[in-house]
């Protein structure tokens, strides 16, 4: 376990250097994040988790898990990511304003293709190779589903904190000590659990995590601002995670969990005596 813990600490340190330092510089300089060099530096820094994973993979020459391609996980990813925000919009009475707001968002992104490209790159691709591709499988070697969700969800939320102090970001507009800020951080935990399910149980790996993240982000952008309804959205996300947990534990046939050969090859022999995948 010592080797894996060291690798995770190294990953975290690289991620902080690649992300927080450039964001801090942008904040001190008061750079414009919407154009020019400021936008480029911000985008590269926002890719810190995935870039940190790339650094670790090249540095440690670790093997990666294979994805089991299936028609089930893309469908599950889109539904699990998109339904909670859309359901919250319906339950809070914002459905009537949905078409006009969605049209404005898509138009501002340069059309449907522009909206999709931005949705996938700004967040999902920039982050998921780090969170779900590098950090999650290493946590799962030693921790159960809930412990992994707690640690990874907390790390994911902590990584976002500087954005609340960086003028020009959506997080800065929402505010850190507001109900929007609080529900954002709380919502990362059920979302992390849902991603654990689709990546691990459905064997979708990073691609399916990117789909869930993109579906969630796009749905959040397309629905009108919920105001106090953000608590309804959090409830929908939590209910989704609870349903996924029930399905995972009860409906799916129980499989004997074995150690991940990709991680075993990456870690030292001293770690190989520790039991592998556990609930």
61-114 pLDDT, tens digit each: 766 665 667 778 889 999 999 999 999 999 999 888 988 999 999 998 889 999
Cα dihedral across residues 141, 125, 201, 234: positive or negative = positive
Using DSSP, state whether 166 is helix, strand or coil.
Answer: coil
Question: Model confidence over 51-60: pLDDT tens digits?
Answer: 999 999 888 7
Distance CA 32, CA 266 (A): 41
Strands (E) across 17-135 are located at none
Question: Model confidence over 135-175: pLDDT tens digits?
Answer: 999 999 999 999 999 999 999 999 999 999 999 899 999 99
Distance CA 225, CA 28 (A): 30
Residue range 210-234: mean pLDDT, rounded: 94
Distance CA 33, CA 44 (A): 12
Residue 177 has a pLDDT of 93
């Amino acid at each position: 376990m010592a080797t894996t813990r060291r690798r995770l600490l190294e990953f975290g340190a690289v991620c902080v250097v690649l992300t927080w330092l450039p964001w801090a510089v942008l904040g001190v300089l008061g750079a414009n994040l919407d154009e020019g060099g400021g936008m480029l530096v911000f985008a590269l820094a926002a890719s810190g988790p995935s870039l940190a994973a790339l650094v670790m993979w090249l540095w440690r020459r670790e093997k990666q898990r294979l994805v089991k391609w299936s028609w089930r996980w893309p469908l599950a990813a889109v539904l699990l990511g998109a339904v909670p925000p859309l359901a919250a919009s319906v339950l809070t009475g914002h459905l009537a304003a949905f078409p006009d707001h969605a049209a404005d968002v898509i138009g501002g992104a340069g059309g449907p293709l522009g909206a999709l490209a931005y949705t996938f790159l700004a967040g999902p691709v920039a982050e998921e190779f780090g969170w779900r591709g590098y950090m999650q499988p290493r946590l799962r070697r030693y921790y159960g589903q809930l412990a992994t969700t707690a640690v990874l969800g907390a790390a994911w939320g902590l990584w976002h904190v500087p954005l609340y102090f960086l003028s020009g970001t959506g997080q800065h507009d929402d505010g850190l000590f507001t109900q929007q800020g609080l529900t954002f951080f709380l919502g990362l935990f059920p979302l992390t659990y849902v991603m654990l399910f689709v990546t691990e149980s459905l064997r979708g790996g990073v691609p399916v995590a990117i789909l869930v993240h993109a579906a969630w982000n796009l749905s959040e952008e397309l629905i009108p601002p919920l105001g106090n309804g953000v608590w309804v959205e959090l409830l929908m996300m939590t209910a989704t995670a609870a349903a996924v947990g029930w399905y995972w534990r009860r409906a799916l046939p129980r499989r004997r969990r074995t150690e991940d050969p990709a991680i075993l090859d990456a870690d030292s022999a001293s770690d190989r005596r520790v039991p592998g995948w556990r609930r």
